[in-house]
Amino acid sequence: MNAPQPNKDLGQHWLRDQDSLQAVLDIAEITNDDTVVEIGPGLGTLTQLLVNQADRVIAVEFDDELAAQLSAKIQSDSLTVVNEDIRTFNFSKLTFPYKVVGNIPYYLTSHLIRILLEADNSPVAIGLLVQKEVAERVAAEPGELSVLGVTSQLLAEVNTGPVIPAELFEPPPRVDSQVLGLKPRKNSSDQSQVIRVVKFGFSQRRKQLKNTLAAAFQVEKDDIADLLGELGINTKIRPQSLTIKQWQQLTAALAERKYV
């Protein structure tokens, strides 16, 4: 049987470096009591570590050939291989605590993080290997924040792990990767209104926030400026400079005035 070749259309880059793979498990704090959903197991190098370290592994693989070969390659009662697109995987059927790990392609990252963090039964921990730039965006400080950064930090505790050089992958991607850890917050189930305000706020990120929100909620700029001032927020601030707490306070104030 010929060895599978990476599919460029699916953003596949094989990683066999054991230390790098173990770092993904470590940031998700995988133990032998855990059920783990693995995203895109590929050749099964991370899967093998999971089978050895976790109690149960559900490997979700979109590639038909790789899914079939994985079942034959790793024969373990603790492994279930699901040949499915992770974007349509029904996480709601998991009625028990679970963790998520995976080496995921760039085109999937933002969408997948949102799916995981906004799920009704979000995982208790997430360990991902992502493009370094994405990890930096998720973990950014005020001044460099984006919608992805704000929503991720609003809904989860964010940690970054080691940078994994591109040359350790086959084929090497154009950029380095980084291990990213997310622990969904237990009290984050009803943050939809904050996320809505954040998305409005970043709709024109180069503009001052008062201008963007005034247009979004069809109110006077001076009214938004007054509200910002009452909260102790610079009235000329741009969205990337607000803290997570300020976004929450701003949303509460907007709701109190019935702007949202």
pLDDT tens, residue by residue, 201-212 = 999 988 999 999
Model-level pTM?
Answer: 0.91
With a cut of 90, say whether residue 35 has pLDDT above it.
yes
DSSP output for 154-184: HHEEEEEEEEE-GGGEES--SS-EEEEEEEE
Whole-number mean pLDDT of the chain? 92
Q: Which pLDDT does position 66 carry in this prediction?
A: 93
Split at pLDDT 50, 70, 90, the class of 29 is very high
Taking the C-alpha atoms of 192, 195, 196 and 201 in order, what is their torsion angle to the nearest 10 degrees? 170
Q: What is the mean pLDDT of residues 63-75?
A: 93
Q: For tokens 């994994």, what's the residue?
A: 164
Q: Which pLDDT does position 187 carry in this prediction?
A: 65
Split at pLDDT 50, 70, 90, the class of 172 is confident
- The helix-helix angle for 221-230 and 209-217 (nearest 10°) equals 120
Residues 141 and 150: their CA atoms lie apart, in Å, by: 9
| Domain regions of the chain by residue span | 8-184, 192-256
pLDDT tens string 211-250 = 999 999 999 999 999 999 999 999 999 999 999 999 999 9
Q: Spell out the CATH class of 8-184.
A: alpha beta
The CATH architecture of the domain made up of 192-256 is Orthogonal Bundle (1.10)
Q: What is the mean pLDDT of residues 107-124?
A: 91
With a cut of 60, say whether residue 9 has pLDDT above it.
no
- The helix-helix angle for 192-201 and 209-217 (nearest 10°) equals 120
Residue type, 73: K
Secondary structure percentages of the chain, helix, strand, coil, to 5 = 45, 20, 35
